[in-house]
Amino acid sequence: MKAYSIDLRERIVKAVQGGKPVSMVARTFLVSENTVRKYVKRMQREGDLRPKAIPGRPRLIPVEKFGELAAQLEAASDATLQEHCREWERRQGVVIGITAMHRAIARLGWTRKKRR
């Protein structure tokens, strides 16, 4: 789910600070009461309403390396996923599994089937 915009978050907090009840603010902005309370509390504690980073570990092939991956795919277009994994490890020094390689190739939009 995509995070609410900072503008909306600020308007929610300003409405509560302006004296409106939490339930009314929640109905007005079509969010839950818990969300309203959370934003107000966060503004008081941190002074910031920006969305936090989504947890999880970083990708083994970051977006910045997609150019290098595309070059590798062009150079050996008929190689298997396992061969691409081994080549990536040889060139980049990063051990990567078949599934991660498959996902990175899919993000590039690369397919084995070539259109005429």
Q: At how many degrees (to 10) do helices 98-108 and 66-75 cross?
A: 100
> Which parts of the chain register pLDDT below 50?
none
Number of C-beta neighbours around residue 26 at 10 A? 20
Question: What is the pLDDT, as a whole number, of residue 114?
Answer: 63
Rounded CA gap, 78 and 37, in Å?
55
Domain extents in the chain: 6-46, 63-108
Cβ within 8 Å of residue 107, ≥6 positions away: 66
Output the CA torsion sign for 47, 50, 56, 58.
negative
How does pLDDT run across 63-85, given as a tens digit for each residue?
Answer: 899 999 999 999 988 899 999 99
